[in-house]
Structure 1
Amino acid sequence: MSRLLAVFSAFSLAAVLVLYYAGLGIYHSLSPQGCRMSWMWPSYVLQTKFDHTWTPLARRYSLWLYREANRESHELHGAPVLFIPGNAGSSHQARSIASSAANQYHSSPYEVSPEFANEKYSGLDFFAVEFNEDLSAFHGPTIDSETTYATRAIDYILSLYPPNTSIIVMGHSMGGVVATALLPNPNISAIITMSTPHILPPVRFDRRIDHIYAQNHKHLAADPTPVLSLCGGATDLMIQSESCILSPTVLNFNTSLYRRTVFTSALEGCWTGVGHLAMVWCHQVRWRVARAALEIAAVQTVKERALVMDRWLRDGHVPPPVAFPTGTVRYEAGQYRRAPANQHLLIRDPVGTETYALPLPPPEEGQTMAKFVLYASQGSVPPLSPHHPLPFRATVYLCDDIPDLSCTPLDPTTLKLIPSPMPGLPFPVPDEGSDESEGVVLYEADVPLNAGSLVAVTIERGDRRGWVFGGYAESEPMNIDVGLTSLLLSSVDISLPSSIRVQINLPIVPANALLVYRLTPGYDQESSCTSESVLSPLLAHTSHPSETHYFPLAPNFGRRILLHSHAAGPYITSDHPVGHTLTVHTSGECLVNEIQLTVDWWATIGRWGSRYGTAAACWAVGIMAVLMWDVLCIAANGAPIPDVQNALEFFARRRLPFMVMGSYFVSLLPLRVGLWLGNGGNHYFAPLAMILLPITFGLVCVMWLLLRILLWPLQRLLQVLGSRREDTAIRRPRTAILSMGLIFLVIFILVPWQVAYLGCWLIHFYTCASSLASLASHTSSAGTGAVPLIAMPGHGETAEQEVDVAHRPTIPQRRCLEQQINAHLHLLLLMTWLLPLVAPVLAVWVRTLATAGFTTPFDGDHNFLYVAPFLILVEVLSGGEASVHAKAFFGSGGKERVSPRWGFAALAVIAFFTGPRTTYMVFETASVAVGWVVTARVVPVYWGATS
């Protein structure tokens, strides 16, 4: 390998390593996980009656009923729930949620818990389908098979219950896609998906997957069934969480439909990122999902089911689904305590019942509203509280002092549960996280300054535990017009006022999954930042209505504060591409008076690799298409076919610089979001194309080096053993057609075409090694072999002239063999880069054979036309006349109106522009491009030579 190609290879490998390690750091630095492990006593009952009489897929899949062995009997006793696992998932993944439901419903073995003693409640019968760890993410027909089986499973399950029984469906990962594909179904009462990529499939190697997603989007836009999507955020390294959001912009659903997205970082009582697999066993998530299912089963209407999900799976963006109290309350003098003006209310360890009155602040010029904020630790502000709250409750009123207080309840603008990190401990605490009883109720209300004279807070049933803190905060948010350019070039300092709640809006800072910002707090030196503070500074970062992250701002918090978002991302249309809101909550003892913002480059780079890996594979095919274009142009002009190394060097010197510069300007075009890099012309992300292109070219060079290394041992072995090349002169077209037809029939009936393509690649790999061995043997024999017998020199001839004549035929023979090898290796490199586009389906097929054998057909992927051009090409290039057919492939076809090399130009356009979004189109276009050349040039030569 030349020095130039070696430099690109080293650069590419170094870049891949940087992207890999930066991506690994996301799990620990960007959004660490704090989940408690769940424990259970599992028992599984196989549903043997759900057999082939219900569905032929019963020979491939199975249905199980989960039972908590120390709580329940095996008889059906409640409402049905169906759990659908995802890619490579298992029916056993249902055990964590099912166990939590059983333990919540039963206080002891076979005894119903008092809170579910009402006759409207019943236990849950958790059924789970077993798909034998099918790789459904890679294969649309597999998703269709799973959907068909799940549909019949629902029919079977409901046949075990009284008429009009409905079923709750839960899906994890791609199981959520299957669950959505079950719609419309009047028997499904609600769907809860966990870590499901609803908007964009994680991989796009199959045209059928796009069709399934299009159908699901129609169902989500029109079907009345409530659907809730739980997302793990950046901690989920298997899917891009921006595709987990049920976006109204993408799905175009009516706002009257219940479509809710909740990130676990904002899920009340959870407040942590959750990994892809951990989503089903993370205790803070599973018990809330189980509780929601228990209550969904007890209600009848769609509205009631939606209210239940909003009660138990809420992130604070939606008001609590309970009406607030109304009516007038009067307090006489002596029944309340009046706080001094401009003072905060702080009640530690409340006792009994007390009412506290806080006068409204004097209005400033132009001010009409005041912001009242109340924090209640582990207590309740009706109707909201932690799961197991302390006895005390706080109620807020707006009062007139006349002279007794005449008060009416003050409805909040915000009422949600926020975390209260423990001083000195990481947040979230690894392997532990938060407890159900933890949390601080945040109450916010806008108070008209002309509507009353004071705000009263009544605290009831205090038992000397917990605390309540409240007061007036800055009513208007701070709008900071800082842009990404300032954050890229340097850091930006923002001064904060002294307030118990400060909101900072960054309206023009992009909220994108490709960007991570670092925040550094500065503290008021006169404040006391100790563990005695009732509420240490807490930052709430919101970039999307469904996504909030919490960060302690205490000085002893050691982890970097990294702000990230899933509001927008590559290849996804977003309704919130810009804007961040930062809210600092504090009790006032420890004040943050400044924050510093900048871009965190290491974490930002870590976000790139996971989102552009597929793009790199497709762009590599695009580079190979340009390479093939160049070689076809050179050969069409009568020049020899260059070897792969020279072609790569020509690309690096003559093509790559212009393509890198051109990629920047293309990235500035307002292209549709599914094209190119999927950023819709955002100029901030244009340099990414200039980085990705050299990295991809370096990977092509690395692949070329790897192929030569792999070819060498086989070449040496064939050189030692000797390889007999087949003479195509004795092979008739009829024989070739019959054999090819038999292969096509096998593909059409039995094996997927991807298997045939792998066979093509293996045969061509052997052909390349055999050609290299023949060249090495020819060179060796020409240099050291015996001198052939020659005739005596005739009149006027010398012996030296006769020797030259005897050796002269070896020179064109060697050149012909070199041209043949160059052609073979170009095609091998192209076919190698197409191999990753078909390998996932190969894995699915092998997995299906291993688990189900031939008991059920492998649906789809039997269109032999995809692989036919490669089969024909490998056939003609593996024979004794391979040099003739290679020359025909790369050489001029004579009187061609349109040169077939334009097929490779189309392949380059598809690979670069649409490949990352619709990967399957890359192979389809490659098949058409190769088929065009084979049909126009190779087949006529082959037919004419053998007829």
Structure 2
Amino acid sequence: MQRRGSASPIEDSRTPSLSLVTGPALRGSNGRDIDPSFYSSFLQSDQEEASGRKTSDSSDLSPEESANLRNPSTPRSPIISTKETTMSPLESQLSNASMDGSIGSRRRWRSRARSPWSNSLLTLAVTLLGLLTVFGIVYSYLTRQIDPQGCKTPRMVPTYIKLLGFDSEHTRFASKYGLYLYRERNVDAYSEEDIGLKGVPVLFLPGNAGSYRQGRSLAAEASNYFHDALRHDQDRYKAGTRSLDFFMADFNEDMAAFHGQTLLDQAEYVNEALSYILSLYHDPRRPGRDPNLPDPTSVILIGHSMGGIVARTVLTMSNYQANSVNTIITMSTPHARPPVSFDSDLVHTYKQINDYWREAYSQKWANHNPLWHVTLISIAGGGGDSIVPSDYTSLSSLVPDTHGFTVFTTTMPTVWTGMDHLSIAWCDSFRKVIIRSLFDIVDVQRSSQTKQRADRMNVFKKWYLTGLEDGAEKVLTRKNPNTLLTLGDNVNAILPQGQRLVLREFGKRRQPEAHLLTVPSQGVPGKKFTLLSDQILSAPGGSGKLEVLFCSVFPLRAGLSSAHLSHSLDLSDGSSGATRLACKSAVEDLIQLPASTRTSKYPFDAPQPFSYLQYDLEDLAEHQFVAVVDKAERLSTGWVVAEFSNSSDAVIPTRVGLGRLVSTGLNIRLPADRPMLTEVKIPAMHSSLLAYKLRVGKQPCGEDAELFTPFVRQYIEEPYESKYFVNVKEAEINLHGIAPYMPPHLRETSGPRGVSFQLWSDPSCNASVELSLSVDVLGSLGKLVMRYRTVFAAFPLVVVALVIRKQFKIYDQTGVFIPFSESLDLCLRSSLPVLFLGLSFLASSLASSSPVIAAHGPSNWRTNATESVIDFTKNDLLLGSQDTFYWFLVPVFGVISVAVCVLINHVAMFLTSILSVVRGILVSRRGYIKIEDQKAGVLFSPLSPNYRIVNTAVLLLLVSTVIPYQFAYIVACIVQLATCVKASAHAKETRTSSHYNFYNYVHSIFILMLWILPVNVLVLIVWVHNLAVHWLTPFSSHHNVLSIMPFLLLVETLASQTMVPRVTSRFRHITSIIFFVLAVYAAIYGVTYAYLLHHIVNLGVAWLVGVHLSTSGFSLRGLKQLLEGGDFRDEGSATVHGHLKKLP
């Protein structure tokens, strides 16, 4: 490889090598640098050079200097050393041909003396556009499409009992972590001798930097609910219901979201805690527990945020005790992907965990599946969660629907509100639903302390889902008749077939009254029964105003007597022609919907929800009548609407594409004779990146006041996300459907089903309604923040890599290391548009590829439902999008990246300028400066090479033993900043091209290191936190000295004022290839595997160190010379050696 230049910007006569001056500085016979403006004029045209005409600027030169410039082969003694030396591998012999090539390349590059602060109009325009885009995204995220939150703060009186017995004899983490038992004061009985373990053990796991105290809301509700409601319920007691003993793991606010080893440590600790908790219940000396009950063998786990991942990791650990966990409930937990990919351990740990779960559920036989009895429920807070994207909470790629599901808090009955990342742990309405579901699954008569898996799943679906989902199980079909309904001939009415029942008040006849609707014959397809009321449905024998029964003529079969029916409702008034019906109550299939009146604003506001029933005709096959019984005995307010409707009238499918939906929107007019419930299906609405506006036209209601105002349910089927809009006129629509970087489903699916809108409106108004749906462009911008937040860290590195690549390319050709801003301007006119255009085509290609790959390999899992093999990493690349529509995001992110790079570049230069001024003030206060330091421009008094070698060696030794290499990287960044400050100060003082070359070089390296800083800083935070809690166990995976050695060597080299030599042979392409690979990798893999960005940059830095070493040869002596560096000195300046000049 041919090298031009030396190890320092100015020739150092102490260097025993034959070399050329590095950089654009040309030397005259007097040793002075020629200003860059000189050869800017000198290289105006090749024609003028060929004719040998001297430029106007060269008239100031001496005749010898002019002769040297006109004839490059003329020897110049200040440039060429006469000492003999051995050439290094990267050096080449100096010849007249190489000199001619150097001058020729400079002629081709018309150098411009340009300020690093200056930017072209093109750069300014792109920067302005990028900043406006960023402003729009941030403004949209903070102000538009924000889900309302209606959480109320609960009250509790907590007591935490630390289990000191769980010490170092049980776990090696006893000094770092802790275990507590929660007791509610004045509710839970406990003492020093008996801590009151009489129930079912539950362990709460906090999240990243979370506290064990976050579990107090759930624990307090469990204690109060059992004490107030269940303690005296003998039926529940006999069924195995007991109190819940809430244990809490104290992870000392550790940060498992940033570090994979911390995640594994917590999982190991939890397994040991589970064994200890179960041993407490096995102690025969423990009073208060029924000796006839089996000892517990499992613990229910509840995890918040990363605590949910810890819970799943527990089952994959080697110290896991089989069947000690069978129920896991997680809240705002990123199951599908790690929240950040800056740590290799975290990414690999996630992959191992998810692969284990997928492989377990891919087994054909249950006895081969270690997770067969495990149920996993993932609960998401929705768009209000600004910490973890709620898309990542999906279990569709991990768990079949027989063992778990994902649900949003906006879906859960009586909750109906979105939550942020922290409020989901304490929200009052939410905790009530969670605790009631837990009490419904416990059964202390079983050693597992819980019901069987299928029963647990039914309980969770009952409490967490709406009941409106396709395939929702109905209790009515499994029940036997339990009510005998007796009707008279004259008092009760049977409505004609197809007529709708509408009651506007109750108790009109001052006595109970039944209204019968005839069930249509089964031959009619698509029929559905619906009922809506503002009253709570009464159970058989209850005191409510409304009871709904599904009846058949009694007796159902010969020999059946009324004694088999536990309840009787006689409405015959002693009539001789009474009709008897055997009926089933529908109260157990009740669906609660948020109340919608003229005063309603949010679904969580109303104290009493609406009651709703919905059955397919197939569910009513054994019944002839639906009896709606008005049990009020005096006139009272209230209403009910009941009807049978056809799906052809109630369901409106749309076939509009996404392009048309974005451009023109969708308008639908619903007829006046529509059913009470109308559903509009829009398959094209499946992306979580778009937000919409839904407008519902006003519905005139004529003479009678409307029973209720229209309300809408927006829902998708996977995951279970429903949102309600009451008293709706205009609604903001956003969803968590198909999201970027999400792995495909564990089972093959037929494709996205999109969003459906269910509209309930008063059918008695007999008026048409218009629906209008349009894309909210500004609201959609904010959806990029959570889905693409890592892109905003990875994509700017694409720009930085290409800019530095261009700088080195020009430097190797001309000897001019142009400023970062100038290189960015050149890239905007060449490589950046080409690369982003190519990436746009690649994004479209990746999005259009099939999600199912017919291939076999050890990394793919075979599912029960299909013989195809699913590639779970398919969406890891580039945009991670599954829709070709979003190709334009690549240039959008490119424009933003350019703007961010320009901004960071100017901030870095501003910081450098400020620090250089401060440095100048501090230096001036010393009172004396050497004249040669002032005039000759010595950068600073460098440390001796031996001292630098010792410093570097000590730091590398610490990295290999004690500190993570991320700490050394922070030190390297600080040292590089100091080098930039000194280089900037002396470049401004000397105003020589060599000093500006060096400053531009070290500044660009500093910008590159800044963009890698986020990859390293998170692991460093974990390490510092461990020091704070006196945990000194080193990170086994972060002590590779090769991951930091090139950075340290380069930084030390630059600190010794050593300029990188030029490479003019074919080896110069290595520099271009390395930085081009970095740019492409940052774009394609930077989001999913961001931790590798450090190692690719590390490879590039190692190459630069090698180029530097070429100056002195690859040897320890050469390394010493490299660290010793050279002086920035104008050799022709007047110096007074050894004399000091007093500052005025």
Which bin holds the TM-score, normalised by the shorter protein? Answer: 0.7 to 0.9
CA distance change for structure 1 residues 63 and 592 in 2, over 3 Å: closer, same or farther? farther
Q: Which residue of 1 aligns with 2:616?
A: 445
Q: Give the SS at the match of 2:640.
A: strand
Q: Which residue of 2 aligns with 1:757?
A: 969
CA RMSD between the two structures:
3.4
Give the residue type in structure 1 aligned to 2:531: L
Q: In the alignment, is the contact (CA less than 8 A) between 1:390 and 1:465 conserved in 2?
A: no
CA distance change for structure 1 residues 286 and 898 in 2, over 3 Å: closer, same or farther? same
Q: CA deviation at 1:71?
A: 0.5
Q: In the alignment, is the contact (CA less than 8 A) between 1:97 and 1:281 conserved in 2?
A: yes
CA distance change for structure 1 residues 468 and 526 in 2, over 3 Å: closer, same or farther? closer
Q: In the alignment, is the contact (CA less than 8 A) between 1:505 and 1:579 conserved in 2?
A: no
Q: CA deviation at 1:873?
A: 0.5
**Within 2, Cα distance between the matches of 1:399 and 1:16?**
69
Give the residue type in structure 2 aligned to 1:841: V
Q: Equivalent of 2:515, from 356, 361, 375?
A: 356
2:912 maps to 1:912: no
CA distance change for structure 1 residues 453 and 286 in 2, over 3 Å: closer, same or farther? closer
Q: Give the SS at the match of 2:709.
A: coil
Q: How does 1:673-712 map to 2 (within 5 A)?
A: 673-680=875-882, 682-712=883-913
Q: Which residue of 1 aligns with 2:793?
A: 617
Q: Which residue of 2 aligns with 1:242?
A: 391
Q: Equivalent of 1:892, from 1038, 1058, 1063?
A: 1063
2:631 maps to 1:488: no
**Within 2, Cα distance between the matches of 1:676 and 1:389?**
62
2:985 maps to 1:773: yes
Q: Give the SS at the match of 2:661.
A: helix
Q: CA deviation at 1:915?
A: 0.5
Q: CA deviation at 1:741?
A: 3.2
Q: Which residue of 2 aligns with 1:821?
A: 999
Structure 1: gaps (5+ residues): 780-813
Q: CA deviation at 1:592?
A: 5.5
CA distance change for structure 1 residues 273 and 379 in 2, over 3 Å: closer, same or farther? same
CA distance change for structure 1 residues 515 and 758 in 2, over 3 Å: closer, same or farther? same
Q: How does 1:512-661 map to 2 (within 5 A)?
A: 512-527=687-702, 530=705, 533-552=706-725, 554=727, 557=728, 560-574=730-744, 577-590=752-765, 593-661=769-837
The normalised TM-score by structure 1 is: 0.86
Q: Equivalent of 2:845, from 644, 665, 669?
A: 669
**Within 1, Cα distance between the matches of 2:1112 and 2:187?**
76
Q: CA deviation at 1:393?
A: 3.2
Aligned residues: 881
CA distance change for structure 1 residues 39 and 391 in 2, over 3 Å: closer, same or farther? farther
Q: Which residue of 2 aligns with 1:394?
A: 548
Q: Which residue of 1 aligns with 2:175?
A: 59
- Greater CA drift, 179-188 or 501-510: 501-510
Give the residue type in structure 2 aligned to 1:39: R
Q: Give the SS at the match of 1:235.
A: coil
Q: Equivalent of 2:1039, from 849, 862, 878?
A: 862
**Within 2, Cα distance between the matches of 1:652 and 1:865?**
34
Q: How does 1:325-404 map to 2 (within 5 A)?
A: 325-326=479-480, 334=489, 336-347=492-503, 348-349=505-506, 354-359=513-518, 368-380=525-537, 390=544, 392-397=546-551
Structure 2: gaps (5+ residues): 1-117, 283-294, 317-321, 361-370, 444-449, 557-576, 746-750, 848-873, 924-932, 1122-1144
**Within 2, Cα distance between the matches of 1:123 and 1:344?**
47
Q: Give the SS at the match of 2:771.
A: strand
**Within 2, Cα distance between the matches of 1:134 and 1:307?**
35
Q: Which residue of 1 aligns with 2:463?
A: 312
Q: CA deviation at 1:78?
A: 1.6
Q: Which residue of 2 aligns with 1:786?
A: none
1:657-682, Cα deviation, whole Å (9 max, x unpaired): 334443432332125311111113x2
Q: Which has the larger radius of gyration?
A: 2
Q: Give the SS at the match of 2:644.
A: strand
Q: Give the SS at the match of 2:782.
A: helix
Q: How does 1:469-508 map to 2 (within 5 A)?
A: 469-476=641-648, 477-497=651-671, 498-508=673-683
**Within 2, Cα distance between the matches of 1:89 and 1:82?**
15
Q: CA deviation at 1:772?
A: 1.4
Q: Which residue of 1 aligns with 2:343?
A: 206
Q: Give the SS at the match of 2:166.
A: coil
Q: CA deviation at 1:754?
A: 1.1
Q: Which residue of 1 aligns with 2:150?
A: 34
CA distance change for structure 1 residues 321 and 443 in 2, over 3 Å: closer, same or farther? closer
Q: Give the SS at the match of 2:465.
A: coil
Give the residue type in structure 1 aligned to 2:803: L
Give the residue type in structure 1 aligned to 2:457: A
Q: In the alignment, is the contact (CA less than 8 A) between 1:622 and 1:911 conserved in 2?
A: yes
Give the residue type in structure 2 aligned to 1:23: Y
Q: In the alignment, is the contact (CA less than 8 A) between 2:690 and 2:775 conserved in 1?
A: yes
Identity over aligned residues, as a percent?
26
Q: Equivalent of 2:240, from 116, 120, 125?
A: 120
**Higher relative contact order at CA 8 Å, sep ≥6: structure 1 or structure 2?**
2
**Within 2, Cα distance between the matches of 1:115 and 1:842?**
55
Give the residue type in structure 2 aligned to 1:100: E
**Within 2, Cα distance between the matches of 1:648 and 1:673?**
31
Q: In the alignment, is the contact (CA less than 8 A) between 2:343 and 2:1091 conserved in 1?
A: yes
Q: Give the SS at the match of 2:920.
A: helix
Q: Which residue of 1 aligns with 2:418?
A: 273
Q: Give the SS at the match of 1:899.
A: helix
Q: In the alignment, is the contact (CA less than 8 A) between 1:376 and 1:442 conserved in 2?
A: no
1:152-205, Cα deviation, whole Å (9 max, x unpaired): 211221111124432110000111111111115411131000111111122111
Q: Give the SS at the match of 2:179.
A: strand
Q: In the alignment, is the contact (CA less than 8 A) between 1:412 and 1:443 conserved in 2?
A: no
Q: Which residue of 1 aligns with 2:406?
A: 261
Q: Give the SS at the match of 1:523.
A: coil
**Within 1, Cα distance between the matches of 2:543 and 2:736?**
32
**Within 2, Cα distance between the matches of 1:546 and 1:829?**
42
1:273-321, Cα deviation, whole Å (9 max, x unpaired): 1221111111111011112223333234333333332333333236357
Q: Which residue of 1 aligns with 2:198?
A: 77
Q: Give the SS at the match of 2:980.
A: helix
- Greater CA drift, 701-710 or 318-327: 318-327
Q: Equivalent of 2:355, from 206, 218, 227?
A: 218
**Within 2, Cα distance between the matches of 1:592 and 1:266?**
28
1:458-494, Cα deviation, whole Å (9 max, x unpaired): 4386576754320122323211111222222223211
Q: In the alignment, is the contact (CA less than 8 A) between 2:221 and 2:431 conserved in 1?
A: yes
1:858-895, Cα deviation, whole Å (9 max, x unpaired): 55422222222111110111114x12xx23xxx21746
Q: CA deviation at 1:637?
A: 2.1
Q: Give the SS at the match of 2:421.
A: coil
**Within 1, Cα distance between the matches of 2:345 and 2:842?**
30
Q: Give the SS at the match of 2:904.
A: helix
Q: In the alignment, is the contact (CA less than 8 A) between 1:168 and 1:293 conserved in 2?
A: no
Q: In the alignment, is the contact (CA less than 8 A) between 2:544 and 2:631 conserved in 1?
A: no
Q: CA deviation at 1:211?
A: 2.0
The normalised TM-score by structure 2 is: 0.72
Q: In the alignment, is the contact (CA less than 8 A) between 2:713 and 2:723 conserved in 1?
A: yes
**Within 1, Cα distance between the matches of 2:1014 and 2:655?**
45
